[in-house]
Amino acid sequence: MSRSTATRVLVTGAELLVWWAALTGLWMVLIGSVDTLEWVVGALAALLAACAAHEARRAASTP
């Protein structure tokens, strides 16, 4: 793996982590009481939304 590829992977991972954390945090604030199942569903939904946000940003920045 070249240095530029490794850097791109790290940046993508960091972006997904930030999106996931922000969306999971928003989910937790909006639902009020936190049950284990709600946390798992919210975390998975946030992961899907983070992937969609990353791909949308990538598609928008590609000429």
* pLDDT number for residue 20: 92
Please state, in angstroms and rounded to a whole number, the distance separating the CA atoms of residues 32 and 39.
11
Task: Give the torsion through C-alpha atoms of 34, 35, 37, 43, to 10 deg.
Answer: 20
* pLDDT number for residue 63: 65
* pLDDT number for residue 27: 86
Residues of the chain with pLDDT > 70, as a percent, come to: 95
The single residue listed with the structure tokens 């590609």 is 62
Instruction: Identify the helix (H) or strand (E) that includes residue 24.
Output: helix 3-31
* pLDDT number for residue 59: 87
Q: How far is CA 19 from CA 3, 49, 57, 63, in A?
A: 24, 8, 12, 23
Residues of the chain with pLDDT > 90, as a percent, come to: 32
Q: Please give the average per-residue pLDDT across 21-49, as a whole number.
A: 87
* pLDDT number for residue 35: 84
